[in-house]
Amino acid sequence: MADASTPTFKKTYLLGNDFTVNRMGYGAMRITGEGIWGPPKDHDEAIRVLQRAVELGINFIDTADSYGPNVSEELITDALYPYPKDLLIATKGGLTRTGPNVWPINADPAYLRKALEGSLKRLKQDRIDLYQLHRIDPEVPYEKTLEFLQQAQEEGLIKHIGLSEVTVDEIKKAQEYFKVVSVQNKYSVDFRKWESELEYCEQQDMAFIPWNPINAGNIKDLKPLTQVAEKYDTTPNQVALSWLLHKSPNILLIPGTSKVKHLEENYKAASLALTQEDMAALETIGKNA
């Protein structure tokens, strides 16, 4: 946590002991069409967003085969391939798509293999450096899904494995099969359901990747946020993102946007230093969240 006299925090994180990534990353979900379905309304702007992200120094991009579906991965390739040497592209499998804003779960090993192979082809890679299970499938034994991920890693198709929307017990179960390097759960200053999972990840030196880190922009009217934002002449969204960077050194941020302007605004949060007093005020938001 930031000290009032020296309000600093570590800007990078060592993922899996071999990838040094800037903690301010980019989530590539919103460069697709409405309802995360189909192509973006402005293809050229989506390409500019991805290219500008790399220009800003972002070297961690999070996507999934279900974003579009396939569209997000295809855009990343169109915009950035051949990739910068230090760029880590993380993708996910385990959700299918039947329409806008519809996300059926399928973590059956046969489906996951098809999804993984599709991601490899679209991203033009021989190996996914961070492959994340998008959801645990209640219709498929968890052990069968874990066995597939373990096998894919042994085959060299996956370098590192992460999980999403999981409990501590579910993380521990996965650790019986492979090293879990990241957990991606919904988390923000006003949504704190997964506090114990964040703490466990910090103890285990796993990256914790909050999705929906500014609650789809719905945090702007929260009084403590607006007060801190006014203090620094910044925005509530930037304060909310900075709070996450200060909250724990293993948090990686992946705010998403389809506009270069918003991308640049989000990125400024990486330079916003909060004091202990600021953090204490912001912590009050989550007491009932």
Catalytic residue of the set 26, 67, 187, 267: 67
Structure tokens at 170: 């579910």
Task: Give the pLDDT of residue 216.
Answer: 62
The one-letter amino acid code at 104 reads: P
Is the model's pLDDT at 150 over the cut of 60?
Answer: yes
* Residues contacting residue 110 through CB under 8 Å, at least 6 positions apart: none
Query: What is the DSSP pairing of strand 19-22 with strand 12-15?
Result: antiparallel
Q: What is the DSSP string of 160-197?
A: EEEEES--HHHHHHHHTTS-EEEEE-B-BTTB-TTHHH
Question: Alpha-carbon torsion 188, 192, 193, 198, what sign?
Answer: positive
Structure tokens at 40: 């973006």
Domains, in order of start, for the chain: 22-288 (3.20.20.100)
Q: Which of 24, 26, 42 is nearest to 34 (CA)?
A: 42
Q: What is the mean pLDDT of residues 96-108?
A: 98
Establish whether 142 is a catalytic residue. Answer: no
Q: Distance from first CA to last CA of the chain, Å, rounded?
A: 20
* Residues contacting residue 286 through CB under 8 Å, at least 6 positions apart: 189, 190, 191, 192, 195
Round to whole Å and give the CA distance between 289 and 273. Answer: 24
The per-residue pLDDT for range 193-215, each reduced to its tens digit, is 999 999 999 999 999 999 999 87
Is the model's pLDDT at 6 over the cut of 80?
Answer: no
Is the model's pLDDT at 7 over the cut of 70?
Answer: no
* Residues contacting residue 231 through CB under 8 Å, at least 6 positions apart: 278
